Amino acid sequence: MNYGSKDWDISPLRVASMETAFLGATVANTTEVALPDGFLEWRRLQITVDGQKSDLDQVSLTPIGFDEQDATPSVPDRYTIVGGNMEMRPIPNAVYALTGTYYLEIPALSDDNASNWLLAKAPNAYLYGSLLHLSIHMGGVGVQWRDTWLAGFRSSLNQLTRQDSRKRFSQLKRRTDLGVSTPSRRHA
């Protein structure tokens, strides 16, 4: 559920219940900073320099290689993820505070952890997700029910995502002070 599925056209689940705060720091003259346990992806990552916070840009692995500018330690402005670490560029020249928000894996169910936020908010996601994975091993019987279970799984995740969006954005006010006009529609 955390990672989605290309085979079944299911987007990764990313809702507010999965968000958690991060506090960390760079190490002078060291490129790597460990990712937190259960990390899925950043929502926002910032570096603090002289009391001012600024966003760090995530870049792909290929262009992050060293160039002349990166050879001299300085204040990092970008990072990439390699394994369980962030690789900072340029190399940090000092200790800098890192703060952010990231998506955390959904807590696994077990004998010691009989419930989690997903089971409480969307029990049908577990029901249909389990049936969907069971269908892989059921042969012909599973195939005939797979579309029904896939639709139920998608529906439960979509409902959870819509509820999350309403919770996050329903009270946003439209800004009228930006001086941006919208083009009028012309009818033919």
At 128-175, the pLDDT tens digits run 999 988 888 887 767 788 889 999 999 999 999 999 988 888 776 766
List the domain boundaries for the chain: 16-104, 118-169
What is the pLDDT, as a whole number, of residue 187?
A: 47
Buried b / exposed e over 18-32, threshold 16 CB at 10 Å, is beeebeeebeeeebe
User: For the chain, first and last CA: distance in Å?
Assistant: 47
Helix (H) / strand (E) containing 148: helix 140-169
Residues forming a β-bridge with 44: 101
Candidate from 25-29, 39-43, 65-69, 87-91 with smallest mean pLDDT: 65-69
